[in-house]
Every structure is written in C-alpha cells, then in structure tokens.
Amino acid sequence: MLDLLEKHRGGTKMSRMDRHKNIHKKAKPLIERGSFFRRERKSKKDRNSYIEQEKTKHLSHQSQEYKAKEEKGSFSSVWTPYFSQKMSEKKTYQSKKGFFKRKKMLTDDRSKMKRSWKKIILGVALFFVLFSASSFFVGKWIAEHDTSLSSVTAEKFKGMQSSSGAHNILILGSDTRGEDSGRADTIMLLQLDGPAHKPKLISFMRDSFVTIPGVGQNKINSAYAYGGAELVRQTLKENFGLDCQYYAKVDFKSFEKVIDALFVNGVKIKAEKSLNLDGVDIKKGIQKMNGHVLLQYARFRMDEEGDFGRVRRQQQVMNAIFNQLKNPLNLFRSPYAAGKAIGYTSTDIPSLFMVKNLFSIMRGMGGIDRLSVPVNGSWNFGNSSYAGSILVIDNEANKTAVSQFLSK
C-alpha cells in the first residue's frame, strides 16, 4: 500500500531520515538569505551587494513593458512586494542607525558639559576653602601681635563634648579691664550642631545663687573669680547638667576690637530705649553701632529691669551679630575677621574647628533661639550675708527648662 502511495505521488520511497535531510536541504538557502540582514554576520558591503542582486533578479522576471517604464523614470513600478520589503528594511536600518548616532552624540555632549560644570564648581569650592583658611590665619596672626592690647593666653579648660553630639561653647565677658581676677560680667552658652540644627544661646543671670564646686553657695559670676573658666564649666555641669566643650573669654576692650573687625560699618540694631552710659548717648530706634557703642548698649542696667534688661539686650546684640554674619557680602571678609576675633579672644577653640564651623555659624537660620536662666516662675529675690542681693532659683525647674530648650 505504501509503495502505491509513493508511486501515486510521483516519487520514490524515502526513509524518514532522508525526508528530514531533504527538508533541511531545501530550507538552507532561505536561512542563508536571511542572514544577510544580521549585522554581526555580514558587513555593510555584503548587504548592499545582496540588495543589488535581488533587484537584478526581480527585474529579469518583468516584462518589456516594465523595463520600458524603468527607462522612462518610473522605477517604482518594477518593485515587487518582496523587493519593496527589503528596500524598506534597508532604509529603516539606516534611519535607526542615524538616530542612535545622533542620540549618542547628544548624550556625549551632555556628559562633557556635566563634567565641565563639576570641575568648575569643584575648582571654585577649593579656591574658596583655601582663601578662607589663609585669610583666617592671617587675621589671627595680626590680632595676636596687636601691641595695643595685653597678650591673650588660653586658660586650662577640661571641656567635653555633649552627649547629644552638639558643640557647646562657654562665652564669658569680664567686668574688669585686663584683670584676670575679676568676676564674669556675662555668662552665656552657645550651642552649635545640636538636635535643632540651629544656633542656641542660653544666658545665665550673674546674681543666680548656685553651688560652686569646692567653694559652696555663691553667685554664679563669682565662679570665674575663684577658678576661671574651668570652674564656671564645673558650676554649669553641677547645677544645670550642661557640658561645655570649649570656652571663649573677652574683656571690654577686646570686645570692641572684635566687633570692629567683623563689621567695618557697625552692627545694625534697634535700641529699645534711649540711654546713656559712660558718656555714650544712644537714641531709641534702628541704628548702626560700632564696637564701643555696642558694648555700652549691652552693659547698660540702670533702669527698672536691672540685670534682666541687660541680659535681654546682650541676647539682642548676639542675635544682631548672627543676622549680620548671614549677609553674603560678608562671605569673603568673614574668615579674616573671624581670625582677628579669635586672636583678640582668650579661648581654647581650635582654629580648624573655627574654619570648619564658620559657615554653620553664619547660617544662623533666622537668627538664634534664646533662653534666660532662671526661667520665669523659678526664682525669687533674696539676700545673703556674704553675697548681698541674690536670685534664689529652683535648680530642678531650670535644669528641665534648659534640657527642653536644647532638645527641640
């Protein structure tokens, strides 16, 4: 029966293996022809050659009528669907190739521009850092060799960083000119890089009656007279749980020099009231004060508010200084001025710390947060047989207030 079927088909009997070989043999030309459009296997020259062969092959099968039309310029009339498809594939490939080439060129240009801008920004930043550092050290050297002031020496200070990672700086203002044994007229704590990420300033009323380690009960400002900045640090730790990492002390004359170095045209500030101290007459309202006038404004306490009014004005002065440091015009002058300020100040703040944190100080985002200790409702007036008029304070209430202020 199988023999009859093969004869009916006009062929000879073939095994299954032979049939498969025959199928592959017939399919091989088709596979090879398709490979011409594989870029990794055939070159551009081979593809163009194949297209020309296809064109000639199809034209040879057309009638004389189509050839006549070709000679007259109507070449499209002789394109067969197969040939049109191949030509379309060629055009598509070429257009895609051009598109990717243009896209690559645009991408390369953008990458080059981006790299160029990065180099420019890096160069400017490096120049600014080097300029700031050199200006800072030049200013510091000039101040340290200023013969109009007595030499400034750093005290022994066993500071430690706060457990929160913040940098707490103890700021002291001497109430005597050039005498190391004088009491502290101003006691402040400036916090940088704290949990709130903005400067915080705490002022301590100098008549606050506190426990001074190794001395006993006395006014907080007498701690400096007994043991310098280090004993003030211990006193703040004992009574309010505060750690101070560095200290900075200025006397009146140094304060004037620092302000005049930082602000050539003075500090812009709004005087709360008209006042007069040591022959300096200050009118109420907005004005610019040089170092000497600003010092008298910060020291004044001959009114109904007494020390409370003076502490508030001292905080106002510090806030005005921070606000003016944010001015972009001070960017290039500030490193030099900051160096001079450090040179006029008795401090253990490392110079590199000042350079590193100069712009953090200058940010001052909207000024600085301020707190006065003792806080409202936590103190009463009192008298001591050996200390005179004092402020009897609630240590625990103030310790809690300080902790909350620094943490928010």
299 falls within a domain: yes
Which amino acid is present at 406?
A: L
Count of C-beta atoms within a 10 Å radius of residue 94: 11
- Give pLDDT, residue 179: 45
Looking up residue 234, the CATH number of its domain turns out to be 3.40.630.190
Residue 154 DSSP one-character state: P
What total number of domains does the chain contain?
2
CA distances from 342 to 56, 73, 217, 326, 338 (A): 92, 91, 33, 19, 6
Q: Please, are residues 401 and 375 in contact by the beta-carbon 8 Å criterion?
A: yes
Number of neighbouring beta carbons within 10 Å of residue 64: 7
pLDDT score at 302: 81
User: How would you write the pLDDT of the chain (408 residues) with one tens digit per residue?
Assistant: 445 445 445 555 667 777 777 776 776 665 555 544 444 455 666 667 766 776 666 556 555 555 555 565 554 444 445 445 545 554 444 444 454 455 555 565 666 666 677 778 888 878 877 887 788 888 888 887 777 766 677 788 988 888 888 899 999 987 655 444 577 889 999 998 888 778 899 999 999 999 999 999 999 999 999 999 999 999 999 999 999 999 999 888 888 888 888 888 899 999 988 988 888 899 999 999 999 999 999 988 888 888 888 999 999 998 888 888 776 566 556 677 777 877 888 888 887 787 676 655 655 545 688 999 999 999 999 999 999 999 999 999 999 999 999 987
Domain holding 40, by residue range, is: 2-81
31, 50, 81 — which closes off a domain? 81
Contact 274, 283 (CB under 8 A): yes
The structure's pTM equals: 0.65
What local confidence, expressed as pLDDT, does residue 321 receive? Answer: 85
Looking at the structure, tell me whether residues 183 and 47 fall in a common domain.
Answer: no
Would you say the C-alpha torsion 208, 211, 213, 215 has a positive or negative sign?
A: positive
Query: Of the candidates 25, 46, 81, which is a domain's last residue?
Result: 81
| 54, 198: one domain | no
Q: 54 with 185, same domain?
A: no
- Contact assessment for residue 332 and residue 317, using Cβ atoms and an 8 Å cutoff: no
Q: Are residues 379 and 277 in the same domain?
A: yes
Distance CA 233, CA 223 (A): 9
Spatial separation of the C-alpha atoms in residues 308 and 298, rounded to whole Å:
12
pLDDT given at position 201: 92
Specify if 226 maps to a domain: yes
On whether residue 158 sits in a domain, the answer given is: no
Same domain, 229 and 361: yes
List beta partners, residue 167.
Answer: 192
pLDDT of residue 345: 84
Q: What is the pLDDT of residue 77?
A: 46
Calpha distance 177→25 (Å, rounded): 111
Considering the domain boundaries, does residue 251 fall inside one? yes
Q: Are 51 and 45 in contact (CB under 8 A)?
A: no
Residues 52, 174: one domain?
no
